[in-house]
Amino acid sequence: MTKPLSIILCSEEHEKIQMAAMTATIAAVSEREVSIFVSMGAVFSFCLESPKGHRFSGGTFSELMLEKNAPDALDLLKQGKEFGKLSLYVCSMALDITGIDEGALIPDLFDEVIGLTKFLADSEDSQLTVF
């Protein structure tokens, strides 16, 4: 049995969010259990309307992905949820600090608002990766 995969996503950089979404989705459709904890600046990228006016920050590779119509990271995560066991959690601290209401997040994506302690406890037997 493959170890579950736990991902802490704390960057609003397009490249990191895209890589995290690709990793999570591929793992989920390969029948590996995946949990993602969205915290820090990454929460801005998961808002229906980003308070920063743009969904991601990004560099040269981000520009190339947009130019080549790479699949949207959030759509990938939705597919991971549809075709595998992928759970998304949003950090209670990050919502509190930013003042973002849970209802302002993209719907049908997050399973729960939790704290880091709970996420770490649940990830005890998982492979943990940070983006």
The residues, ordered by sequence, that sit 6+ positions from 5 with a Cβ below 8 Å of its Cβ are: 23, 24, 27, 32, 33, 34, 35, 126, 127, 129
**Closest CB to another protein among residues 72, 112:** 72
Question: Out of 22, 47, 106, 120, which residue is the one contacting another protein (CB under 8 A)?
Answer: 22
Question: Out of 70, 104, 114, 128, which residue is the one contacting another protein (CB under 8 A)?
Answer: 70
Is 127 a binder of another protein (CB under 8 A)?
A: no
With contact defined as beta carbons under 8 Å apart, do 34 and 89 qualify?
A: no
Is 71 a binder of another protein (CB under 8 A)?
A: yes
Is 51 a binder of another protein (CB under 8 A)?
A: no
Is 121 a binder of another protein (CB under 8 A)?
A: no
Is 114 a binder of another protein (CB under 8 A)?
A: no
Task: Count residues binding another protein (CB under 8 A).
Answer: 14
Residues near another protein (CB under 8 A): 2, 22, 25-26, 29-32, 70-71, 76, 79, 83-84
